[in-house]
Structure 1
């Protein structure tokens, strides 16, 4: 992620972080404009990396690091067919789409970006109560 270093002085970028040399993210403020890093986003697409915007953080991850990839690996290895997923952010969308039964917590940012037609079961409650609601639903699943 040395490519990111050339962007460290861009207006609105507060921090650039690398996580165990596996992925990277930047922390931005409200003065940041995504157009400042469009060329970087386009460059990393050529290497099968994806960009996720989640509030004041912008994540850059290799496609192999997606949650759905890990779940598919486990399902293939152990022969699981019935999968459940609980998520709340745009970074969870691929996992939610992959799993047979997907639950979305109302408090997350993904709820606001969905069309009315989606396959997710959305919690009625927010926060811990929403998590508890979804877990009870999964435990009672037959």
Structure 2
């Protein structure tokens, strides 16, 4: 069995801010609301091909979103219903929408080798001058992220936090106004590798845009990053799309379509 495993935000789906920055194809569709406001869109071309991929092979969403945030994407609750999804940066595998307990037990064992969540949160909040912190939010009890006052958050502070996290066996990733703190043992690829063995997967095409997607991209049978991807700033030699923004998503699923001839948009 072959699979397409992809990050979601800024890879297949896009915020209004991303559409404003990179333009749209004029055919995007809202797939997520928050407090009644549209916050995520997908190209209708991407949606059509992605539905065929999910029907004909295996589409596995792979995201840093929490379970709640993932389930907020209406597209994956009605039109396209993946059998498996990886959320919480690998902390959770959903099997037909329910937490796969087998993986949860494995994650608990992995996290025994990391500094506990509460301890690193305590160290971060104990730093001098924390006026850059707007909110701190846990991520399904396996990681946490800080919503920043970006105008008060300096590059020196980021380097300080990265060093602190590294010393404790964690990593940090800055994505827009959110700063993620994630155990190093918890990666998207770790969860996908587990699924690969459990399901006996053959080829896995992978895609992602952030530093957190690096292992996902490089360990897939074929991995690709959108041209606008943050990961390309550090690793420019990765396979990349020709276009940026929402058009990159079309290019990515087009590639999967061309690789597997039975996958065609209706």
Normalised by the length of structure 1, the TM-score is 0.79
Pairs aligned (count): 139
Q: What SS does the aligned partner of 1:65 have? A: coil
**Unmatched 5+ residue regions in structure 1?**
none
The separation in 2 between residues aligned to 1:75 and 1:49, in whole angstroms, is: 25
The separation in 1 between residues aligned to 2:259 and 2:158, in whole angstroms, is: 45
Match of 1:14 in 2: 134
The separation in 1 between residues aligned to 2:158 and 2:123, in whole angstroms, is: 11
The separation in 2 between residues aligned to 1:110 and 1:37, in whole angstroms, is: 17
Asked if the contact 2:145/2:180 (under 8 Å) is kept, the reply is: yes
Match of 1:124 in 2: 242
Asked if the contact 2:134/2:146 (under 8 Å) is kept, the reply is: yes
The separation in 1 between residues aligned to 2:128 and 2:248, in whole angstroms, is: 38
Out of 102, 105, 125, the residue aligned to residue 5 of structure 1 is 125
Q: Deviations over 1:82-104 (max 9, x none)?
A: 21111111221121122120111
Normalised by the length of structure 2, the TM-score is 0.46
Q: Deviations over 1:57-109 (max 9, x none)?
A: 22111123211101110112122232111111122112112212011112332
Q: Deviations over 1:27-47 (max 9, x none)?
A: 231332354466654454344
Match of 1:92 in 2: 213
Q: Aligned ranges for residues 29-108 of structure 1 at < 5 Å?
A: 29-36=150-157, 41-108=162-229
User: Which is bigger in relative contact order (C-alpha 8 A, separation at least 6)?
Assistant: 2
CA RMSD of aligned residues (A): 2.5
- The more displaced of 80-89 and 5-14 is 5-14
